Structure 1
Amino acid sequence: MPRALSLLWPCVFLLLLSVARPSLAADSNQEAKRHIQAAMKDFQQNRFLKAEGRLKTAGAVCRSGDCSKPTLVALWGYLGIVYASGLEDPEAAGACFQQMLLLDPDAKPDERFSDESVRKSFEAAADAALAEQRAAEEAKRQKALEEAEKAKRIAEAQKRRIEEHKQRLAELKQQKLEEAERRAEEERLEKQRQAEEIAAVKEEDRRLRCDVEEPLSLQDAGWVEQAQGFQVPLFLKVPKLPSDTMKIKRVVVEYSAPGAEASRSLELKPLRGGYGGYLPCDASLKAGELSYQIKVINTCDTMIGSAGTAAEPRRIKIKPAIDFAQPHLPGELPPETCASQSSSLTCEFDDDCPGEGARCEAGSCTAAQPKIPPKKRIDIRRNRVSFEASLDFAPISSEAACAPSSVSDGRYSCFRTDDSELEQDPQAPGSFSTLGVGSLRLSLGYDRVLGERWLVGARGGLTLLGHPERADGKSVLPVHFAARGAVYFGNEPFAQARVRAYAAISAGLADSAGRVDGVSVRSDARGLETVRVWQKGGSLFAGAGFGLEIPLFGAGAIYGELGARQYFPTSLTAFGPTLGYVHGL
């Protein structure tokens, strides 16, 4: 008997397992319905939050169990009623009603608990569900249309490819027929084309060597006056020709002297950089206006261009005495007086004699003697680049350099030897009067030579040896910029390699800070100690200086300069040397 009972229990267990699932579903439905009924009683008693909690509990029961569809429909409907009518949350109510309609499109809220807010939320949810359904149907319909359109395009493309293939076959056949005719025609025309090309090349070569569409308007040296009795120089730079194959055959000047009835011509000679020459002495015998036209002729005897025209020639005034330096050809001295006129030039003073350097001797003018031998004369390189270093020395003094009133405006800065900034308001703020080492400037520069002795240019670079950075962020400006002008002394200082003296002025943007070491101060924190003090000036300046420039080789030179600077609006006077290298271009 015990043996039989032990075999019976597994059978009973299997039977229970077979009915467990339906039993669990039935229990979930019943339990969920009890929570729903209790929740709606709470709803009728205006305990809306409690009703919401019970309905959520019913939802949890359905999630853990297996509630039927009607139970879930009722659950979502009652939860929407609680949100719409009780908690006044139409968005949450609409979401609940949408879930209800997803389960059963014909479901409606319980009329017993419905009011206007419930009806509005339900209608909104129904409209949203209907819109989603219509959107899904429209998307499905659109997809079907797109598929049909795609199939139509594929069919049309296939048909088009077939037609194109047939067309290409027909064209290829026609091309083969035409190819033979074209080949014969090309062979016939080849010799004719080659002959035409050879003729065109020859014509193009002739055109480039000879033809000028419009004569160029050229600029000569542009001298406007010459002293009476001196040969008139003319100079024309080599013009840029219309083509590389065109060559200059000759350069001719046609001129009319003052009082002359007919014009005369003269061929200018090739010189370095151009063509030039002197008109005969009879062109400047009389005072008046000399007119001329310089023509450039190529190897085909065609005029390439001219300085001046027949209608508007260039003009030079012939005067007993001229206002400016006497004109002369590049690399040559001014012309001497004409022998036929030397006896007629009388004078009382040197100023009565025409020409730079001419002198009055025994009542007659004599020409100036050459100051620079032609063999030693060099070309003036008018573009100059330089690199220089300059150091300031500044007389600095103060009765209370490290006092708050002196430090706060940035003029004075006090630091210990370990570069730590001194605390403010020391008991003994430090006094001194000495010559301090100022800032070091490293500069790149460019200058342009104007005339024979004047320079204008600019400098820019780094400023070094300023004080360490302060706690308030004030510091010495690390860069500088300046405009500069200079005048060199002596006769034509750049026309010969020699030592040159000059004076220069400059102005611009820069800071400088003079430093003094070993200033004694006393503070509460550290007692008596020595500090370094900087006195700053700037950020604008103006300065002047004198210097010497020593040529080295070729276009290079070194120069030294001693100058002074005044910094403002924060005042500081500084002076010091400058050493640099300059290269002419």
Structure 2
Amino acid sequence: MSARHSAAPSGAARKLSLPALALAICSFVLFARSAEAAPKDAQAQKALKQAMEEDYLDTKFVEAEEKLRKAFETCGDSGCGKPVKAKLYIALGIILGGGKGKKTDARNAFIEALKLDKKAAPDPDYVTSDIKTIFEEAQKKAGSGGGTSEPPPADEGPLTVSPIPQQKVNTPVPIYVALDDDTAKEVTSVVVKYLGTGASSPKELKLERSGKAYKGNIPCNSVRKKGTLSYWVIAKDRKSKEVATSGSEESPLTTEIVDEVDGKAPSWPGFAPPEQCKGGGGGDAGGDDTSGSSKRQCIDDKDCPSGEQCSNNECLRKPGESSGDGGGGSDSGEGDTGSDEGRKNWITLTFAPDFTIISGEDICGFKDAYKGETPSEAFNPAFVCAKNPEAEKPSRYLGQPTPGQGNNVNTGFGVSTMRLNLGYDRVIIAGFSLGARVGYVFNGTNEDFASFIPVHAEARAAYTFGNNPWKDQVVRPWIFLSGGFAQVDTAVEVDVLEDGEACGAADPNDNASDCTVESESGGIEPRIQTVRAIQQAGLGFAGGGAGVSFVPVGLFEINLGLKFAVTFPVVVPVLSPEVGIGFGF
């Protein structure tokens, strides 16, 4: 019995051996797969699902992109498996290409996905004709080793740097920085700090303004060797305060310097790619470097500063011209900012009407007009008065008005002389300039009894606000002090009542009673008449003012200003608005 009893378990064991073995194998496989799965896969897949099935379908493309980029950060270098990271890249490509219209960035994302998983492909539910075309391009590029080593750069918001995955060795790297409307209003300068291939300390390049964008070329001297070029961008306001940035010294933007670029060579939008510097690629080849050029837009050589020529619609140094070489640091070395500090000589043409503050009591005539001698005791020596002002040849009024009866001007502005001046200004140091004006003066009174000198001569010292206003500032506010030689004539008409007693009127108290005695003008004066009172001021003046210049192109400016001056020895306040144009060289 005991033997038969003990045989049963042995048989049962033989019957259960196959199922047990299968269970053991399955358990081992599941455990092995679990062990193979990366620790951050679940988080990444959750973010992927939310980004595509929620945000993307709701056209919340910015939120969808942010979730995927946070997923990349979560994955790091080894937190996610290659298939999961490939799916993240595919989703990022769909968002960039299908949602935000960034086809180049989308293609680069697809390339990265294919590098991780050759079988990676967009979900058919999200495929459009554009996505299909972009993905097919990526497949071709991935087969030739194209693509980038990082996710495509995110939209920087106020400041966006055009991505440059690769550049040919010994060829300037074209940097193009776009600003949004609000940021463009604040920013007055943009600089790129960079570490050339093999360099140990950063250098700085100041970019040139181009509309709402800034552009410049990192010079050949920094990319003579193959390797990685690192750089970061800083936008500043007029007080040199940082407004926006892209990249940093700790986490820079990068461009691979290679023998040959995969695909189209990088360039500024609308410009041809920069040419390779002399000496070819690789090694430490020398040769001429155009990196210190002003990079101004041009049509022909006449639009470029001395020592430069127009090539591909930009001003570049002529072959053999020195671009400067030396250590790194702000505004030094490799000709980063070039030798052109802006046009320092300016010829101006200005029109300026004068408005004087005029007033007075008993301004015309003499106190001794009827004493038988040439009158000499004028009521107001600052005024010369003319009879018959509308006549072809008016004569001087030499009568004797009744004091306190008319013959006055209420305080106010009077239209005076007008000036057309030719000027020259020379920039001495940044912002400070000295200049001169000479011109012809209109609307003065020049008769036998009133001489007028129609000449304007002026010296001027001005300060223009800005870091380097003469080079890259479109709007240039300025202030100035001036002094010189000028005559200012202001004419107004007044009514005078001849003194009845002095002129021999039968009834001096009756304004209708005529004069009977001739005045020194050689005739009988009417009891009431209108004369023209001319205030002559000068011949010296001193004053100052302010204004603004608008510079649509580098060699031309439109000027608007306002000058306040005081004449002497006859003291008269003068206000003169100015409008003019200028040409720089």
Q: Give the TM-score category using the shorter length.
A: 0.3 to 0.5
Question: 1 or 2, which has the higher helix percentage?
Answer: 1
> Which protein, 1 or 2, shows the higher relative CO under an 8 Å CA cutoff with sep ≥ 6?
2
TM-score normalised to structure 1 length? 0.37
TM-score normalised to structure 2 length? 0.37
